[in-house]
Amino acid sequence: MNRWDIIKHKCPKLYKNPIHFECGQGWADLIEDLSIKIEAILERMGLDSEIFAVQVKEKYGTLRFYMSCETDEIIDLISEAESLSSKVCENCGEPAKMRGIHWMEVKCDKCYKDNK
């Protein structure tokens, strides 16, 4: 079982529909933390909600986490995770920074050098 499958298994309400993670494994901890927090909100709501993850990907260098519907609390959690992704290497999860001019990416020094 890969890391994405583990996250889906831990958060069945959030990932009740098939979804493909379109980003690097370096953000797995960030996405898992966000997913667990959103899953707790969905459980607290106590109903078979129509709120679920629709897409998880990288766009313009940072994480994008799209939902079918959102509460203010979920919006705040997603915004925080998207902001944090600008400081975490998408490849390896180490501290990183935004790089690039035309194609933006968040990479640590090592992954950036290895990818050149």
Residue 100 belongs to some domain of the structure: no
Within-domain flag for 19:
yes
Please say if the pLDDT value at position 64 is more than 70.
Answer: yes
114 has a pLDDT exceeding 90: no
Question: Is 108 inside any structural domain?
Answer: no
Sign of CA dihedral 42, 43, 46, 49: positive
Residue 116, pLDDT above cutoff 70: no
Give the total number of structural domains in the chain. Answer: 1
Whole-number pLDDT of residue 47: 64
Torsions phi, psi for 101 (to 5 deg): -115, -55
Domain extent for 32:
3-86
Region 45-55 average pLDDT: 85
Residue 44, pLDDT above cutoff 80: yes
